[in-house]
Amino acid sequence: MLPSEILRYNISKELGYDLTRFAWRRDLRKEILRTSLDLELDDYLSTLEDIFSQGLNVNNNILTCKYLSRCLPDAQVCIGFFIPVAGYGCSGRGEHAWLIMDDYVIDPTLMVEIPVEIAKCIGYDFRFILNKQSSTIISPEEHFIKKVPKKKEKVSAHQKTLYLGAKIQQAM
């Protein structure tokens, strides 16, 4: 069992919510773990599988997200908080990083792929999203609100909030 799988099991017990059902799909896992890192730092780290098998993804989630984004070009790196990981060597206060792709959170620490709406409900706190195309940091509001269908009349902030609330309710 990989360190990520043990951590996922422990956090599932704490949350009272089974995260194992969101474990990476076999094809995604295979694609990710075979990705070459092209690192000159260490001879023993040549693929993402080396990082995951040694548990280095648990303590280095931002760096792992950077490497992971190479094999998932449409994914964006998100930095925020996920309090359940605090104290597991990931971070002292729950600082955490993950990827967002196709309305899913792809968490390299827990090796899960969770719908964004559910991720927010179980405690993922989105703070910053790195836009890889422009190398800029955007707020989660900018990222998620631009997915609201555009209408000819101006959409108020209240309407956008209601739209996001409805999406969360649908996911539950």
Q: Each residue's pLDDT tens digit in the chain (172 positions)?
A: 778 888 888 888 888 888 888 888 888 888 777 777 765 555 566 777 888 888 888 878 888 888 888 778 888 899 999 888 877 665 677 888 999 998 999 998 888 999 999 999 999 998 888 866 656 666 666 655 554 444 444 545 566 566 556 656 665 5
* pLDDT given for residue 53 in this prediction: 82
What whole-number distance in Å separates Cα of residue 108 and Cα of residue 105?
A: 10
Q: Do 25 and 113 contact (CB within 8 A), yes or no?
A: yes
Contact 157, 144 (CB under 8 A): no
Cα distances from 111 to residues 23, 25, 28, 114, 121, in angstroms, run: 6, 10, 10, 10, 18
pLDDT of residue 115: 93
Q: How many whole angstroms separate alpha carbon 68 and alpha carbon 31?
A: 10
> Residue 138's CB: how many other CB atoms inside 10 A?
14
Task: Please report which residue ranges of 17-93 form alpha helices under DSSP H.
Answer: 26-33, 48-53, 56-59, 61-71
Given a contact cutoff of 8 angstroms between Cβ atoms, the answer to whether 44 and 149 are in contact is: no
pLDDT at 62: 83
Bridge partners, residue 113, by sequence: 106
pLDDT score for 124? 92
